[in-house]
Amino acid sequence: MNISNIAIALFFALIPALAWLSLYYHKDYKDPEPKKIILQTFLLGALVALPFLGFRYFLPSISNGSMLFTGVVGVLIFAALEEVTKLSASIFIVTHHKRDFNQLIDGVVYAVTAALGFAFVENMVYLLSFLASGADGVLFVVAFRSLGTMLAHTLFSGLAGLVWAYAYFSKQISPFQKKQLLAFELKDFINREILTLHIIRQNILKARPSRRGGHEKRVLVLEGVMLATFLHIIFNMTTTFELFGKNMTFMVIPGLIGGFLYVSYLFTKKLNQKILKVV
């Protein structure tokens, strides 16, 4: 393997990741998380990316040339697994450092950090493959992967992390019966969370953890992952497939800008206030 290619890929994957991490970290200026824990979260996010990259390497041979199989696995299934994995890395770190998890915005910080670790490894491997192919346009690839893909990872995971933090600080209610859980939650998820954005409007934006019934914590976290996965799938489809022979990547730009402005808004004093966990 070409040492110069490794150095180039490492540089252009790591520098943007650290730049995004620094930007998000300094937004949480009122009560920043310990740098040691942030580093651990970043490294764990990078570590959990390795199995995905290994599977993607063998995906063409597994699919036997089936474009449908490759598309379904690469665009749909991978999106769900990535969001679950990135958020799980954040939760794992927090379970060992609960004292520092004392704000709703902390969920965003940890989830974004794990996502950047994941995106760093993903981008490095992608750039290595691109450089080895000898194709032109490496600067465009670096720009898109650094500004587009990395930002998208932070937005999807940041949203899931926000709902996770909301669930963490909310009142625990009695679990639903298993036989009623799926049907009830699917209906409730569509009616309340998607159609009315109830959680975001009534609780998250107002920094009010729920003190009433309505959700079990674990189910609420699942809803956050589902919403992040849905957005991730839209991003994958838009940047992967063509419509009438034209690439549709440009369509994600307004969404990325709007998403970044929204996440930046979350770092206001409303979500930067220390709160006690409601049990």
- List CB contacts of 167: < 8 A, sequence separation 6 or more: 215, 217, 218, 220, 221, 224
- List CB contacts of 43: < 8 A, sequence separation 6 or more: 117
Cβ 91 vs Cβ 45: under 8 Å: no
For position 91, what pLDDT does the model report?
94
Q: How far apart are CA 154 and CA 24, in angstroms?
A: 9
For residue 198, name the pLDDT band (cuts at 50, 70, 90).
low
Average the pLDDT over each of 19-28, 84-93, 173-182, 213-222 and give the range with the smallest value: 173-182
pLDDT tens string 29-50: 778 899 999 999 999 999 999 8
Q: Could you tell me how many residues make up the chain?
A: 279
Mean pLDDT of the 49-59 span: 75
Q: How far apart are CA 232 and CA 82, in angstroms?
A: 9
For position 269, what pLDDT does the model report?
60
252's tokens: 């994600």
Side-chain-side CA neighbours of residue 86 (13 Å): 37
For position 213, what pLDDT does the model report?
47
Q: How far is C-alpha 28 from the chain's CA centre?
A: 18
Average the pLDDT over each of 155-159, 174-178, 216-220 and give the range with the smallest value: 174-178
Residue 247: beta bridge partners? 242
Burial degree of 135 (CB within 10 A; 0-12, 13-18, 19+)? exposed
Mean pLDDT of the 193-211 span: 54
Domain spans in the chain, listed from the N-terminal domain onward: 3-266
Mean pLDDT of the 176-198 span: 49
Report residue 149: phi and psi, to 5°: -65, -45
